[in-house]
Chain A
């Protein structure tokens, strides 16, 4: 129990508090994601004691997606790729002059999701082993497939266009060296393409660049309502906070989804917000409002986004298996301060394990509260003329694209995918679906190949795999199933 409160020690608390604003800034700046933050901050902790060092890094990482949600809903630019899901409904809210309320929705649900993930970490850290060990290669494949199936749910335009976008995303994920055979695919002899396309340049290009182009072309501001109708400032943010108790079931549902997906290593938590969004849309009483500024469409992904971080810490600490790529980097930090995560870690450093969980909770509360105080003022940025914002935002996006790998090639990719994103915007093709396909496509292919090699064609004949397959079919056809059931009920009623 001491571990839970050890973050308030005088040696640890200042570092924890220092990490929070740094993480928020990384989140707010497009392209500077959790991975970049950890990579840049790690050298600072060399030689430090484990408690303060890990509190600093984890506090910074825990609030990145909270910061990213603000840029996503106010400017339609994801602070980090997982924030792209919140843009689908958050930005339409901003365009309707409800930017303050959108920020209140996004940040508050992020706080609660983060707290939920931290509490699950505390409760399950010693119990999670059988859950994680029951997931094998076939389960990872079907989980990826389940994630891809949400492509059909994401968009408000035709399902065919959504599937086209998602499939193009899957195709783009296949560029580069095949992980199983080592054969380069669609690299055209280029060394830079051997690694494929990075997710940060793709996300920035698809989402951020078209927004910049719109700002260059427009004479107005991001918010497309008169200033007298604006909904910014503290009152607006409070309105967004009040939406949360009214939608608490959704917050809880999405936090569970985020935590579960975060717990499963190898899937990548980036899909959690999209899955949560898809399920929220499928189970909502007003699914037709999704994509046009539904608060449920903001609450669901952002709850899942922060909850997944607590979830991904679980296998990292309990088994030494990183729950996400950021956790892989965090494991490097563990080794840097002389600690090896895994089963022995929990026995020898129980207090530290609990202190990391309370770091996640405390950082989410502090970072989120800070953003809620500033959120109303940040929302006023949406009323600045596009001409003023465009060049500044463009330079930030470009440096975000460059910073991940330090390669100018990525800047070129941002510009190129920006052109693609603009075309998709003009012709009404679903960009989140493309990103989802891109993130999951390569993963699905890899796990499919490995499952086939290991288990043969009957690899799906496992209880969890069959459950996931059933869930995938439900996601794809739930609309038709519902229509069919309603039709049968009417006939019976007559």
Chain B
């Protein structure tokens, strides 16, 4: 049981060293970066993160065969893509998941708790 604590101790010591080094160099870099602006607004970051996290509850509730094409459609349409492109890519995703993964390769796919 001592080995994990030894490894953890090494990590903490190195991280503290790194924090000290970064604080020392941070003050020099602050003045250089004052003029720079963030290229993406915060709202875009939050939206991107939201889409990233949303896939997990979608798959959990609806299962892969429903969630995958639905997620692709929503992610494309709600982010400004055209109807036809969103439907096309969502359909292609659904076809691939069903015929490619489920039927041909027999990859096990979660079915979704809503359908239980």
Chain A contacts to B: CB under 8 angstroms: 22, 25-26, 32, 36, 40, 43, 160-161, 163-164, 167-168, 170-171, 174, 178, 183, 185-186, 209, 212-213, 216-217, 387-388, 390-392, 394-395, 398-399, 402-403, 406, 408, 411-412, 415, 418, 441, 445
A388 to B79, alpha carbons, bound, how many Å? Answer: 10
Chain A contacts of B80 at CB under 8 A? 387
Could you list 13 A-B pairs, sorted by A, with CB under 8 Å? A26-B105, A36-B107, A40-B107, A174-B3, A178-B1, A216-B51, A387-B76, A392-B72, A395-B71, A402-B108, A406-B108, A408-B110, A415-B52
Contact, CB under 8 Å: A171 / B107: no
Chain B contacts to A: CB under 8 angstroms: 1, 3-4, 7-8, 10-11, 14-15, 17-18, 21, 40, 44-45, 48-49, 51-53, 55-56, 59-60, 64, 67-68, 71-72, 75-76, 79-81, 85, 89, 93, 97, 101, 105-110
Contact, CB under 8 Å: B1 / A185: yes
Do A402 and B64 contact each other (CB < 8 Å), given the known contacts A40-B106, A394-B55? yes
Chain B contacts of A174 at CB under 8 A? 3-4, 7
Query: At the interface, is chain A mostly helix, strand, loop or mixed?
Result: helix
With A392-B89, A394-B55 given, name 16 new contacts (CB 8 A): A40-B107, A160-B17, A160-B18, A167-B11, A171-B8, A174-B3, A387-B80, A390-B51, A394-B52, A399-B64, A399-B97, A403-B108, A406-B108, A408-B59, A415-B56, A418-B52
- Nearest first, the 6 closest Cβ-Cβ pairs linking A and B are A391-B75, A216-B48, A395-B68, A391-B72, A406-B108, A174-B4
Contact, CB under 8 Å: A213 / B49: yes
A209 to B52, alpha carbons, bound, how many Å? Answer: 9
Q: Which of A32, A183, A186, A217 has the most CB of B within 10 A?
A: A217
Name the residue on A nearest B108 (C-beta): A406
Contact, CB under 8 Å: B89 / A388: yes
Name the residue on B nearest A403 (C-beta): B107
Do A171 and B11 contact each other (CB < 8 Å), given the known contacts A213-B49, A412-B56? yes
- Return A224 CB to nearest CB of chain B, in Å: 13
- Indicate which residue in B44, B45, B93, B107 contacts A395 across the interface (CB closer than 8 Å): B93
Contact, CB under 8 Å: B52 / A32: no
Do A395 and B72 contact each other (CB < 8 Å), given the known contacts A164-B11, A403-B107, A408-B59? yes
Chain B contacts of A391 at CB under 8 A? 51, 71-72, 75-76
Chain A contacts of B40 at CB under 8 A? 217
Contact, CB under 8 Å: B52 / A213: yes
- Return B61 CB to nearest CB of chain A, in Å: 11
Contact, CB under 8 Å: B7 / A170: yes
